[in-house]
Amino acid sequence: ETGVTQTPRHLVMGMTNKKSLKCEQHLGHNAMYWYKQSAKKPLELMFVYNFKEQTENNSVPSRFSPECPNSSHLFLHLHTLQPEDSALYLCASSQGINYGYTFGSGTRLTVV
């Protein structure tokens, strides 16, 4: 365990479903991130939260909706996804620009 916990580890959902991914860290980090990793592509930054405030939305479709209720928890709400949204979704946290990142184990999402 890295200190960043993601649930669930695997998720299969239909295109009409609504589901949520959860990320939790108790490292005292103030910044949390959602990344998407598709096959044979680099990790893509989706959202950044800094002190619970969203500071970056990297042109992500509205069918992905993040929520950060406090600095330890980060959610990614999913609705009406497309098959091309199937990917590994990784959460990370950091203490600041001069510090390293800690990643979770990811949620492997399959949209059918």
Residues forming contacts to another protein in the complex (CB under 8 A) are 2, 30-31, 37, 40-45, 48, 50-51, 55-56, 88, 90, 92, 96-106, 108
Cβ closest to another protein, residue 64 vs residue 106? 106
Cβ closest to another protein, residue 18 vs residue 48: 48
Residue 77 or 99 having the CB closest to another protein: 99
Contact 102, 38 (CB under 8 A): no
CB contact at 8 A, 89 and 109: yes
Any residues with CB less than 8 A from the CB of 67 and at least 6 apart, and which?
74, 75, 76, 77
CB of 38 to another protein, least distance (A): 11
